[in-house]
Amino acid sequence: MNRSSSRLARIVALATLLVSPVFAWADAAGDLHEAYAKAMKARYATETVSTDESGKQTRSSAKFDTSERIHITTETGGFIVLPEGTWMQAGPGGAWQKPPFDLGGMIKQLVPKTLDDMRANAKNVRDEGTKSIDGANLRAISYDYESKIMGIAVATHTIAYLDGSGRIVRSESDGVAMGRKTRSVQTLRYDDSIRVSAPE
């Protein structure tokens, strides 16, 4: 795999794992459906640690004002995706500019148009029972999800963890894109004060 393809695979995998824990449907698990619906209506922030096949870790964070107003920050820069446009930051503190590829379109492909769209792609939903995570007892529900981003097939297996109010607060995802495997652990923090706007 050449350097360009490898970079694209990492971008696709990162985008998928940043968003996939939120966008899940489960015919057999009404709780997962409710958690998905709650997240779609909420403002929240995520912290994600991803580990590739070589063991290298990368950290990223994201703020969701809505499913169409997202600010993603990585160790090498950031992205802002809004209905009115998409911006990319090359390096922490760097200038914001329009990306050379359709990053906004790629992210939007992860957002379901209807719940029926999710029903067609989420498979093997399973109740994993109650798990103790960092001292909290959380409901664990696993599922497989397949999609295509910019024509690239992406497959993930995710365990979503729900708190006592039925909100997703953590996920553990194993994703494969272009033959590259990535494992991600993500935490979600709900915060109604979050706003995402265009860079100044």
Domains of the chain, each with CATH number or no CATH: 3-190 (2.50.20)
pLDDT digits (tens, 9 = 90+) for 21-75: 444 433 345 777 788 778 888 999 999 999 999 999 999 999 999 888 999 999 8
Q: Provide the Cα torsion 135, 139, 140, 144; round to 10°.
A: -140
The closest alpha carbon to 182, from 82, 57, 67, belongs to: 57
Q: Are 13 and 180 in contact (CB under 8 A)?
A: yes
The pLDDT value given to residue 16: 52
The closest alpha carbon to 158, from 114, 121, 106, 108, belongs to: 121
The pLDDT value given to residue 39: 85
pLDDT range class, residue 110, cuts 50, 70, 90: low
| Structure-token pair, residue 197 | 């706007």
Place of tokens 């909100």: 167
DSSP 95: P
pLDDT digits (tens, 9 = 90+) for 149-196: 667 788 889 999 999 999 999 999 999 988 889 999 999 999 999 999
Other CB atoms within 10 Å distance of the CB of residue 110: 18
